[in-house]
Amino acid sequence: MRADPPLLEARDISVAFGSFRAVDGASLTIGKGEIIGLIGPNGAGKSTFFNCLAGDRQPASGSIRLRGHDVTRASPEDHARLGLARSWQVPAVFDDMSVRDNVVVGAFLRHKRASDAAAVADRVIAFTGLAPIAQSRSGSLGTPARKRLEIARALATEPEILLLDEALAGLTPTEVRAAIELVRRIHAQGITLVIVEHVMEVILSLADRAVVFNQGRVIAEGKPRDVVQDPGVIEAYLGR
Ligand code: ADP
Ligand code: MG
């Protein structure tokens, strides 16, 4: 019997903006069911790497496989169909539409019939606690509700793996705790997670594995508690 391929496997990814290498030979293998915390100082290349994983940017070199399929040059829609979603999955939240309609748009990825898409959307809206504001205009939402809506839209595509890039940024400590609780419930549904976060507490309380980026490379990887005590990691944070 052959072992299952990793859920997502990025090898030796590089991205350059002019002569500047934002991502410089980064690799990451993600197994089913993991919660991976991607950390590192500002400008380390986390978002650029994320964009490659989601198909929103093509790397200059390297390869990416999603559930065994080569997606190195695939579109974001192809990634979504293969079960990968991100918190601000294209198209972004439509301000003029209601919360519910925004979630319905996500559900149309897998459902042709409006009633099927609506059923998925209503399930996701209940799950994410958005029911009381389902009819509100999305443009009128405050930060916590908008963040939640971005996650709900991504969930409506029924992903196997969800990438959250600073989905908890700008929240108060109380809101962060509620968001951590939501992430735990998402994971309990069997969804694999990769989260980029600045708040170290989030990584320490959620992630099985922390991966540290600095200057476009992975400089450390391991249990979050160990990684945050690594002298090289501390220096990377203080050195900028
Ligand atoms: P992080 O998410 O870790 O803060 P980013 O991936 O956003 O880092 O950015 C990595 C580096 O690449 C930064 O120096 C940033 O200024 C630069 N960068 C990101 N996107 C672009 C772009 N579209 N054009 C030019 N430089 C960019
Ligand atoms: Mg970023």
Domains of the chain, start order: 1-88+162-177+191-240 (3.40.50.300), 90-156 (no CATH)
Give the span between the Cα atoms of 87 and 34, in whole angstroms. 17
Per-residue exposure over 201-229, b if at least 16 CB sit within 10 Å of its own CB, e if not: ebbbebbebbbbbbbbbbbbeeebeebbe
What pLDDT was estimated at residue 91?
44
Helices (H), the chain: 46-54, 76-81, 99-107, 114-127, 143-155, 173-188, 200-206, 224-227, 231-238
- Whole-number Å distance, alpha carbon 45 to ligand 1 midpoint, is 6
- Whole-number Å distance, alpha carbon 143 to ligand 2 midpoint, is 17
- Whole-number Å distance, alpha carbon 50 to ligand 2 midpoint, is 9
Count CA within 13 A, CB hemisphere, residue 156: 35
Judged by DSSP in three states, 225 sits in helix
Six token digits for residue 114: 């409006």
Pairing mode of beta strands 20-30, 8-17: antiparallel
Band (198; pLDDT cuts 50, 70, 90): confident
Atom of ligand 1 nearest to the CA of 15: 12
Query: Is residue 185 scored above 90 in pLDDT?
Result: yes
Expressed in angstroms, the distance from the first to the final Cα of the chain is 48
Question: What angle do the packed helices 99-107 and 114-127 form, to 10 degrees?
Answer: 120
209, β-bridge pairs: 36
Atom of ligand 1 nearest to the CA of 42: 4
What pLDDT was estimated at residue 2?
65
Query: Is residue 90 scored above 70 in pLDDT?
Result: no
Atom of ligand 1 nearest to the CA of 216: 10
What pLDDT was estimated at residue 169?
82
Nearest CA to ligand 1 atom 15: 43
Place of tokens 């197994």: 31
What pLDDT was estimated at residue 48?
95
Mutate to test the pocket of ligand 1, among 13, 14, 17, 57 (most ligand atoms within 8 A of CB): 17
The percent of residues in the chain predicted with pLDDT above 90, rounded, is 78
Give the span between the Cα atoms of 180 and 100, in whole angstroms. 23
- Whole-number Å distance, alpha carbon 193 to ligand 1 midpoint, is 22
pTM: predicted TM-score of the whole model, two decimal places: 0.93
Peptide bond into 59 cis (omega under 30): no
